[in-house]
Amino acid sequence: MSNIKLLNGDSYKLIKDIPDKSVDLVYIDIPYLYDSGGSVGEDKSAVSQRIAKVRNDYLKDISDGIDYAILEDLIRIMKHIYIYIWCSKKQVLDLLKYFVDEKGCYFEILVWCKTNPTPATNNSFLPDLEYCLMFREKGCKLNDGYEYKSKWYISALNVSDKQLYKHPTIKPLDLVKRHIQHSTNEGDVVLDCFMGSGTTGVACKELNRDFIGIELDKEYYDIAVKRINGITADGQLSIFTDVDKIEQESLF
């Protein structure tokens, strides 16, 4: 049975309380950056300046991205650098430069291919891909199993999950489980400090991984608590009926 701890509060502050080298895997779906950010021609100093932004001056809007300063804390708490990051296309270059150029990690670009994307505007491609970057230090192993090895996942937009759990960027549970199974073992500790509606927590509960979840938004936090306990956002029982004891702490 997995140990689950859920925190409602500011990830940039709460992460300071997590001990060094105590987490086996970080699995996060960060707020996407859409309107500004890195470009292919941007020099490394500009990227470093954004990474070194004042820690309490982060961007909170879901379309404004994150303060990259939190990456240093994530590295501090991981036993070895081992992290999955869902991000927008505009964030890919920054993250590759940071983890590959500066930290020397191996990487993979994983994709969720949507069969029913929203229509494209003129002079643009369909928004039918979402990107998940995986970074790991030398020596971090991938578990055996052919079913885990594909870099792509094809499905329709998960409209039903969005309706059940009221989150606009919810990821397919089966895909999250596949990633976690590929990179962790039972009893390992997984952190999601941008927890949203709790998909990573549900995956960890099903797979017997210990889980730490942090979410700033009180509405999403409450939904995540219900969801991990087997209840939808509307108060209906979902597929889980065995409710484990979950440690919750409101630090909003």
20 compared with 115, residue with greater pLDDT: 20
Burial class (CB in 10 A: 0-12, 13-18, 19+), 100: middle
Question: Is residue 181 within 8 Å of residue 207, measured between CB atoms?
Answer: yes
pLDDT at 33 exceeding the cut of 60: yes
Q: Is 186 within 8 Å of 213 (Cβ atoms)?
A: no
The DSSP bridge pattern shows strands 152-155 and 82-87 to be unpaired
**Tens of pLDDT, residues 58-77:** 333 445 688 899 999 999 99
Residue 43: pLDDT band (50, 70, 90) is: low
Q: Which domain holds residue 234?
A: 4-250
Query: How many domains is the chain built from?
Result: 1
Written in H, E and C, the secondary structure of 222-252 is: HHHHHHHCCECCCCCECCCCCCCCCEEEECC
How far apart CA 143 and CA 73 sit, in angstroms, is: 26
CATH of the domain at 180: 3.40.50.150
Confidence band of 149 (pLDDT split at 50, 70, 90): very high
Q: If you search the block for the tokens 């100093």, which residue do you land on?
A: 45
C-alpha torsion sign, points 181, 74, 101, 61: positive
Q: Is the dihedral of CA 37, 34, 11, 60 positive or negative?
A: positive
Task: Answer with the residue of higher pLDDT: 61 or 88.
Answer: 88
Q: pLDDT band at residue 124, thresholds of 50, 70 and 90?
A: confident
The model's pTM is 0.81
What pLDDT is attached to residue 119?
Answer: 84
More confident residue, 19 or 39: 19
